[in-house]
Amino acid sequence: MTATAAPARLSQARDRRAGHWPGTLIAGTALLAIFVGIAIAAPLFGNPLQQNLIGGLTKTGLPLGMSWAHPLGTDTLGRSELARLAFGIRTSVIVALVSNLTSIAIGAAVGLAAGFFRGPVEAILMRVTDIGLALPYTLAALVIAGLMTAGLTRVIVIITALFWAYPARLVYGEVLRLRHRGFVESGEAMGASGLAVVRRHLAPHMLPLLVTYSPLNAASAVVFEATLSYLGAGINPPTASLGNMISDGQDAISYAPHLLLVPAVAILAITLSFLLIGEGLKSRNPDLARVSWLGR
């Protein structure tokens, strides 16, 4: 590895200059663009709340299979599965984008503050981060869920409350690595205020780390939203979420497995798009290959 690392890195640097995008990055971005498109255009796929207990079910009351009128069939209440899928995707995409921003922003702020201001600030912030990392995730989420009414806000608050600690740790480690480097110390020696050093010299160095981490964070947010909604602690029916669609589909597991599989494939594809972007970014910047995925 040591022998080949240098040329590999040189060629990578050349690739970056030439604006070369690795295949994984292209595939991931394209896939994500499709899902963002579906999220925006969700209303075009039909009304996800329109129940049709007569025409939307078979004579014996079972969900319909695929047809021109209902490309993905109907669910147990005769609602169009395609429309519900589109709105479920919309939910996932919104949760991924918003909670990714909020959790990383809070985590980065905590990590920067703890790493730069030594002493009691560092001690308190990092102990709080330890608590955040020691929380049993799902249980903590269920407890927080009990405090709020169901909906997008609840999911975003829960994910932010649980997901900020890991990036805080990442950023903190990075600041520790950098804070004795020349450019930080010379900035301080020149009499720059602490805030200026953080803003001008430290924060920009965090960008590659955070950009690489964010698609992985977004992927875990999608998974976690689905999990919460599956457990009834996220977005509740009738609002569509991929997680609560699976929960509904579970009741029909023995006679209409597509109600389970369709949203499952959607979750897989959305998460995969983020993971591919993450892999692509990592391969462009081998220094960051150690940035790993946090959630399950």
Residues β-bridged to residue 57: 63
Which tokens sit at 221?
């947010």
The count of other CB atoms within 10 Å of the CB of residue 8 is 11
One symbol per residue from 150 to 169: x for binding another protein (CB under 8 A), - otherwise; what is it? --------------------
Stretch that binds another protein, among 61-69, 82-90, 99-107, 144-152 (CB under 8 A): 144-152
Helix (H, G, I), strand (E, B) or coil at 7: helix
Touching another protein, residues 161-220 (CB under 8 A): 176, 219
Residue 230 binds another protein, judged by CB under 8 A: yes
Tell me the closest approach of the beta carbon of residue 160 to another protein, in angstroms.
Answer: 15
What's the min distance (Å) between Cβ of 230 and another protein?
Answer: 5
Distances (CA, A) of 259 to 61, 81, 210: 15, 8, 36
Structure letter (DSSP) for residue 63: B
Distance CA 265, CA 257 (A): 12
Nearest to another protein of 46, 275 (CB atom): 275
In angstroms, the CA 288 to CA 150 distance is 37
Out of 11, 200, 250, 286, the residue judged to bind another protein by CB under 8 A: 250
> Residue 134 to residues 129, 137, 138: CA-CA distances in angstroms?
9, 8, 12
Residue selected from 121, 253, 286, 287 as contacting another protein according to rule CB under 8 A = 253
Residue numbers at the binding site for another protein (CB under 8 A): 1-4, 127-128, 130-131, 133-140, 142-144, 146-147, 176, 219, 223, 226-227, 230-231, 246, 250, 253-254, 257, 260-261, 264, 267-268, 271-272, 275-276, 279, 292-293, 296
